Amino acid sequence: MVAPIPRPTAQPPPSSHTRTFPGRPHEVARARHWVEGVLAAAAEGLRPPLDTVGTAVLLVSEAATNAVRHTVTGLGGRFTVVLHLLPGLLSVRVEDDGTCGDVPLPVDSGPFTESARGIGVVSRVAEDWGVLPDDAGVYFRLTWR
């Protein structure tokens, strides 16, 4: 008797999700909840582990807060969160309405500083991150096994 040849496991297709939020401070919480819901509902094989979901929610919160506080978005504009899921990879963009003159950069804040930590957190925690073209937001990537 010949043993059956196992079929290769099919990879789930990539998944993309986009949502736009008004550029108001309380909308950052709505963005966090949306990201958490999308990632929790992702298809098997695309769903990140809980610690990666928590990291993604934190980094979206920091990037969205940065957009609302430090860009034209907070002056009646909006920000958009774009999630791209592949097996073992989450790519995120937080797009805003453009800067008020300053490109987002990590800042060395002291241990008791209550603000100016957002982009620094993103730069330390994400696998990769950067500023979008035309300074219209940031992107970051997270991976898992």
Give 70-113 pLDDT, tens digit per residue.
Answer: 899 998 999 999 999 999 999 999 999 987 665 555 555 555 54
Q: Is 26 exposed, middle or buried, given 0-12, 13-18 or 19+ CB atoms closer than 10 A?
A: exposed
**Which superfamily, per CATH, for 16-99+117-143?**
Histidine kinase-like ATPase, C-terminal domain (3.30.565.10)
Q: What are phi and psi of 126, to 5 degrees?
A: -75, 150
pLDDT band at 13 (very low <50, low <70, confident <90, very high): very high
Helix (H) or strand (E) holding 37: helix 27-40
Averaged confidence pLDDT in the chain: 88
Do 104 and 59 touch, CB atoms closer than 8 A? no
In angstroms, the CA 89 to CA 141 distance is 7
Percent above pLDDT 90 for the chain: 70
Q: Rounded to two decimals, what is the model's pTM?
A: 0.83
Question: DSSP code of 43?
Answer: P
* Angstrom distance (rounded) from CA 110 to CA 9: 49
Residues of the chain with pLDDT > 70, as a percent, come to: 83
* Structure token digits, residue 35: 């990201």
Residues 119 and 116: their CA atoms lie apart, in Å, by 8
- 46, 85 in Cβ contact below 8 A? yes
Element (H, E) at 133: none
